[in-house]
Every structure is written in C-alpha cells, then in structure tokens.
A = this chain, B = another copy of it.
Amino acid sequence: MRNPTIRDVAREAGVGIGTVSRVLSGSPLVAETTRAHVWDVARRLAYHPSSAARALPRGRSHVLEIIVPLFTRFFSIEVIRGIEEALARSDYSLVIRSVEDPGERNRVFREARRPGQVDGGLLVSLTPTRPLVAHFRTAGLPLVLIDVEYSTLPSVTVDHEAAARLAVQHLIGLGHERIALVGRAEDPFTLDVPDARQRGYLAALQEAGIQPRPEYQRTTDYSPEAGNAAMERLLALKRPPTAVFCASDAQALGVLEAARRRGRLVPEDVAVVGYNDVEVAQYLGLTTVRIPMRAMGQRGAELLLRTLEEPERPPDHIRLAAELVVRRTSGSLPGQRNQRSAAQDIA
C-alpha cells in the first residue's frame, strides 16, 4: 500500500541504501552487475523516489517558476507551450503564475517562490523590478527573460522594431504612401517607450522618405474593439490612409471590420497588416508578422536549463527573427485574384 522507499529497495536487493541511491542517480561507482540488479528490483517494486525527500538534502526542488502576464492571451499560451516542450524531457516541473493586471505584478513578484521552493524562474513579457532581480541574485537562482531584455540576465527576444519595419516596408513596396499605424497603448506590463513597433514604423517611413503624419498614428489597446474605433477615426480623415499596420492581429481584426462597415474593400481600398500571426489570421487571410512565440519559450527554457547546469555562465541574449507572412489583406501580387476575407461578409 505505502510507496516503497529506498530502504525497501535496498533490503529487497540485498544491498545498502547508499548503493541504491548511487544506482538511481547514475553514479559510476557501482559494479555493473549490482547496478543491473538494483534497477531490476526498483522496477519490480515500482519504486519512485519522493521528490520532497530528494529536495531536502539537495537543496533543489526541481521546480521552475514562470511568471506571465495575461495567461489567456494567445502570445502567453504559445510561449508557455514552447517552454513545456523544452521541459518535457527534463524532469523539471513547471509552476505557472499569471499576472492578470498591473497592480498584481508587484504582489506576484514579491511572492516569487523562495529558494528551495523553486530552482529558477522565467519571466515573460514582464520587465523585472530591481528587487526581483536582487532576490533571485542573492538566492543564487537563475532568472531568464523572454520578450524583454535586461543587461545582466539571459534573455530571448524578438526585434520588434525590425519586425515592424519589415511590415511597413512591405506596404511601401506595394506602392503605399499613406500608411497608418494602429499601435498599442502604453503597455502596463513593460516599459518600452516609445514602443518598438512604432519605432519600426517610423524608421520604415523615414527610409522611404515619407513624412510621418501624427493623425495617422493611433494607439489603442490590443482588442478588436479598440482597433475598430481607431479605424473609424482614420477613415473619417479627409485623406484617409491606404494602408494600416496594426500592432496586433486583434486590432487588425477590428480594423478589417471597420473597413467593411464603411464599405472599403480590402486590399483594394485599404491594405491591412497585423502582428503576431495568431491562428485565425491565417484563416482570415490576414497579412501579418509572424512572431516565433513557441520558439521563444523553448529557447528561454533551454537557456534556463543551461544556466542551471552552469551557474557562472555569462548571460546569453538570444534574438529571434520574425517573418512577414503575406496573405490577402495586403493584396500581394498583381494578377493574383484577391479573395475578400471571411470577416467582412459575416458581420
């Protein structure tokens, strides 16, 4: 009934518990025959070491903590999934902590598990506070950042500025000059001002010698509703833009909807480019910038694992590339019959 302990295995195998322990932890100081025998017995008894008991003398829990904002957001989910994939074969468990609103952030940071509870942390899209960094440092626990940079900590990021520039360059390449930005409102979770996507947008315009216009730049939060409202404003201008670059696919959805309601054809009257490449983007034919979310999670987890093995290793700063995915809403190549997207007819 009770789980077998290491002692049971030792007795059953006729060896000392030290030997069993060595076999299980793969120590080379065991005779080959002994090892085989012990393994046999352990398997037969269905022995599984208690992680709590193991954590005690080792001083390590084999648990990793990840702190992520807005758990239900597609971006977060994908990153988490990537982390899980990387951790799957590593016998580390993952504890996920979600920060649902900015006020919660400091509380969660403060409650970040004490050493012994957790062996390391992963911070996603969240700028670390000084105390948090100090906490992990003095505790000797590795902390890895995803989608955020910090000089002394390992990180995995995407160059959002370059990604945004890519998108806007694409629009310029199609001949657009009146290009609007539906950017994001100040992100309450990170401190990245001005926003990287906006910087990329401006850079692309400048490269092409296009004068940016303030009335073409709107910032809203990441929702279809907000995108919708922003687009309404843009379309109400005397010279409305012929193309719109959105800081998220969610906003782009709203932009498409507004265009439809105002009778504008996409991409004939107005081209739309989103950001992230969420699932529905492909389905709606939305041209967008693909952010390698899952890969970000994977690489971050790998970085953490590596730092765990080699604590003194200087922090890596990995930067992944985003790619532009051209679909129908930006009216790619001439001669290609553009389908109107589903979103437009439904509503």
Contact = CB atoms under 8 A, between A and B. Distances in A.
B253 A342 contact: yes
A307 interface: no
B284 A346 contact: yes
What is the predominant secondary structure among interface residues of chain A facing chain B?
helix
Chain A, interface size category, equals 35 or more
A191 interface: no
Number of copies of this kind of chain in the complex: 2
Interface stretch (A18-26, A111-119, A160-168, A195-203): A111-119
Nearest to A62: B52
A329 B51 CA distance: 53
A286 interface: yes
B280 A253 contact: yes
Contacts of A96: 84, 94, 96
A29 interface: no
Interface of A: 1, 3, 48, 50-53, 55-56, 61, 63, 71-72, 77-78, 80-81, 84, 93-96, 98, 114-117, 138, 224, 253-254, 256-257, 260-261, 266, 280, 283-286, 328-329, 339-340, 342-343, 345-347
Given A48-B114, A94-B95, A286-B346, 7 more contacts: A3-B114, A50-B117, A51-B52, A52-B52, A52-B56, A81-B98, A284-B343
